[in-house]
Chains A and B, each alone.
Chain A
Amino acid sequence: MSDTSLSHHQPLEVRFRGGGFAPRRHRWIGAAAFVILIAFLEWATQSGVITPLTLPKPSDVLATLVELWQSGMFVKHIVPSLTRLAVGASLGAIVGVGVGVLIGLFSLVRAGLVPLVAAIFPIPKIALLPLFVIWFGIDEGSKYALIAFGTFTPTVVATYGAVDNVDRSLIRMGQSFGLSWFSIVRKIVLPGAMPGVLSGLRISLAIAIILLVAAEMLGAQYGIGAYILEAGSLYDLERLFAGVVILSLLGVLTSTAIGMIERRVLAWRS
């Protein structure tokens, strides 16, 4: 009896339901969002819904960018800015990652430096700019210092957080298998902390770009930040937005670069 009743049942179909919120790549949606926004602004400024006092025409901003490129001033502005960004941010990021790893690994360093970092973090670095000018000079020194100081603290915090979050059971396993301390750090702690460090760097580098404008407030004749500030003081909205577009592109580029590093360095995750 029971046999026959069972044979009547179809085998229960169990679908795979554990897909989670897996992100998928939508290539063109991001671009479309930009296009729609810019097209709307172009229409609104052309038709006069938005006055020229409020926003410039996107087409005029584009023309200004082309002009900037053709006059050769683009290179003159971007080279010092990229140099400041590269020197300042790498200085801040390298020292930041180093200090962050040390805090993560050694309790003594942690006890000493975590309160110090917490004390430095909320200081508005821009407020210290006049001081940096006296310490490091009005030329490149103070600009490197400001950007380095600004990227240092978020990098430290992200790095020691990432080291803390490395899977403890992996470390215990390494210890059970008799790996040396150095081996554990090199093979388990550092690769395990890498995702956190890289996402911390995304934030630090965005802060570096923000501070670039601040750094170029004092005594910079050339640079994208100086260009934006000059346009602002002349109330030249086309040039102001042209500079802002360049900064945004810089942000997208650094973010893409970190994305590429992530895919390479974190290939072990997939």
Chain B
Amino acid sequence: MTYNRRQTLALMGAAAASGLAAPAIASGKKPVVGALSLTSHSGSFIALERGYFKDAGLDVELKFFQAAQPMAVAIASGDVDFGVTAISGGLLSLAQKGAVKVIGGALSEEPGIEGQKLLASDAAFEAGLTSPAALDGKRYGMTTAGSSFHYMGSKIAGAEGGTPQFIPLQKVGAVIGALKSGQIDAWSIVPHIAKPLAGSGAVHIIGNVADYLPNYQVTTVFTSARNASEERGLTESFLNGFGKGVADYNATMVDKENGDAAIDEMVDLIHKYVYADRPREKAAPSIINGSMRINKDAAINVASVTDQLTWMQTEGLVDANITLETFLDTSYVDVIGA
């Protein structure tokens, strides 16, 4: 058998690649990590910028999305390897179809740390929507059915004995516009978006999500079912790098252990990915305000995740046959709240 030059080069390349891939840790792999331009994704940003992914032998590429749902679909299609996003009805359906698995936890509500805020539009506020107790029958904004906004609104209003109408608006930007112009009455969102909105006077903060959903596991780390079951080395390397990024974020931004200079430095880093279209001095307060706890070593709060699954099933958003095992692989990280 004879080879031409191109085939020989390809063979040599393949030989080199297989030689590199041989060590236990998946060195030289190029996983794609999905992210949204939110501070809650800082774990990935920091791990990439500070070389923690590289230390774990990964050459990570970040891919940005506008919403959680397309990211879940991209993982199912194999275009993205790892993602961090809220548990949505779509994520659960994809897990049921054997496409994705949740492997860890990320953003959490924690007592004593400022978390997500419940907002009311100015018009609704003037008309008496000054606390979550008045949510019954109000128009509550959400991106899509089965999103985290749907869950929060339903849970908070339900705790006060009310049932709001849920208005789907597809994108966070559209919800913000509708809330500012009074087309919807209420919404809930992470603090780094809530506070500037309230500061503008067009909306009012009327409650804290943490008061109703303490220890709410807001976002989770997930990957394709294939990565979770067959690429353990790759998945462990990712969680290793991600965990170091998260540890830096918590120490500097949430617990403020490292002083103001460290905060400044980290704001610079995060600003490359979050509010990159705004000047730094305008972006900095929002980034600092938005510092919520990201779970150490991507531990996952199973009690909260179970509650979210149960809620989706009682609302008829996902199949009643889905169980925790369908979408959760707890073999990678610590379990809390079980």
Contacts and interface: CB of A to CB of B under 8 A. Distances in A.
Contacts of B73: 235
A220 interface: yes
A220 B69 CA distance: 19
A229 B76 contact: no
Given A230-B168, A233-B144, A137 B99 contact: no
B174 A218 contact: yes
Interface string B210-243: 0000000000000000000000000000000000
A217 to B, nearest CB: 5
B174 A235 contact: no
A218 B93 contact: no
Interface in B162-216: 165-170, 174, 177-178, 181, 183-184
B217 to A, nearest CB: 20
B288 interface: no
Contact of A138 (B69, B98, B144, B178): B178
Contact of B97 (A52, A218, A229): A52
A221 interface: yes
B44 interface: no
A53 B94 CA distance: 8
A259 interface: no
A53 B169 contact: no
B154 to A, nearest CB: 14
A236 interface: yes
A137 B181 CA distance: 10
B88 interface: yes
A221 B94 contact: no
Nearest to B173: A130
Contacts of B166: 221
Given A133-B183, A134-B181, A138-B167, A233 B145 contact: yes
Contacts of A219: 167-169, 178, 183-184
Nearest to A139: B183
Contacts of B181: 133-134
B146 A234 contact: yes
Contacts of B69: 233, 235
B12 to A, nearest CB: 36
Interface of B: 69, 72-73, 76, 88-90, 93-94, 97-99, 143-147, 165-170, 174, 177-178, 181, 183-184, 317-318
